[in-house]
């Protein structure tokens, strides 16, 4: 498969910046006034990413499943459980540490991540966001990154860097401290995931663990969407 596939790694960061920048112009609002729509934007970008990867794999005489090195029957339940716990603990730990380093607060959470949207869209997005995120992000950074880069160090660090970087623009805010906060929040986890995948070449535990943590996020968005007053209480914590 062509090494040029690894050049796709920055694409999601670029797309998210374009979506929020152009979107703010179209609706004539400041970017920070539309960042509550990040979860819907993410689902749409995920679908685009999956379609793009299917096309790229086909052009290289591969299937999507071969791109991510999926092998039926390879995954053990114990690995799924271990990786899911790691994602939860390292993910939460990274956000807490980054919040303290960047904002001097413990705990610190970016309130816009659970901001309300129309309840119907929040309900629809409960299955869509976790599933599409697992297939889009993990296929891109593991399949097009770790699988395509020959040097061991680069195969882990480069995909992990762009894996974390994309979160700096979901949603997009042109605030340096916020961008650094989001990047540091995810970098420890993305390094661990890329290293795990480099050794095991099994995307399933990562995809399942990734989906589980995103389910928690969309459920919080649903809660605040059903009761906007709850968002005011939670954002004030």
- Give the containing element (helix H, strand E) for 127: helix 119-138
Number of H helices, E strands in the chain: 9, 0
CB 168 within 8 A of CB 182: yes
Q: Average pLDDT in the 189-197 region?
A: 98
Q: Following DSSP, what letter does each residue of 217-234 receive, concatenated?
A: HHHHHHHHHH-HHHHHHH
Q: Where are the domains of the chain?
A: 3-50+76-235
Check whether 231 has a pLDDT greater than 80.
no
Check whether 73 has a pLDDT greater than 80.
yes
Side-chain half-sphere CA neighbours of 132 within 13 A: 20
Alpha helices in 2-118 (DSSP H): 11-26, 38-59, 64-67, 77-103
- pTM, two decimals, is 0.93
Lowest mean pLDDT among 75-79, 104-108, 155-159, 190-194: 104-108
- For the segment 79-128, what is each residue's pLDDT rounded down to a tens digit? 999 999 999 999 999 999 999 999 998 888 888 899 999 999 999 999 99
Q: Which two tokens stand for residue 221?
A: 């968005």
């Amino acid at each position: 498969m062509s090494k040029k596939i690894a050049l796709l790694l920055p694409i999601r960061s670029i797309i998210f910046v374009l979506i929020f920048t152009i979107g703010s112009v179209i609706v004539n609002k400041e970017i920070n006034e539309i960042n509550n729509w990040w979860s819907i934007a993410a689902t749409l970008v995920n679908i685009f990413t999956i379609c793009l990867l299917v096309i790229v794999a086909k052009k290289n005489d591969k299937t999507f499943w071969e791109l991510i090195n999926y092998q039926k029957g390879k995954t053990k339940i114990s690995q799924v459980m271990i990786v899911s716990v790691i994602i939860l603990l390292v993910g939460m730990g990274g956000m807490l540490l980054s919040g303290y380093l960047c904002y001097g607060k413990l705990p610190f959470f970016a309130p816009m991540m659970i901001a309300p949207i129309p309840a119907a869209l929040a309900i629809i997005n409960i299955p869509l966001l976790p599933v599409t995120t697992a297939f889009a992000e993990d296929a891109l950074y593991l399949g097009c990154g770790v699988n395509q880069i020959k040097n061991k160090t680069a195969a882990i660090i480069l995909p992990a860097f762009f894996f974390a970087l994309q979160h700096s623009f979901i949603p997009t805010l042109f605030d340096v401290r916020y961008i650094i906060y989001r990047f540091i929040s995810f970098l420890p986890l993305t390094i661990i995931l890329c290293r795990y995948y480099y050794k095991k070449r099994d995307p399933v535990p990562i995809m399942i663990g990734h989906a589980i943590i995103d389910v928690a996020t969309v459920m919080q968005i649903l809660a605040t969407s059903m009761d906007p007053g709850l968002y005011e209480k939670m954002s004030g914590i």
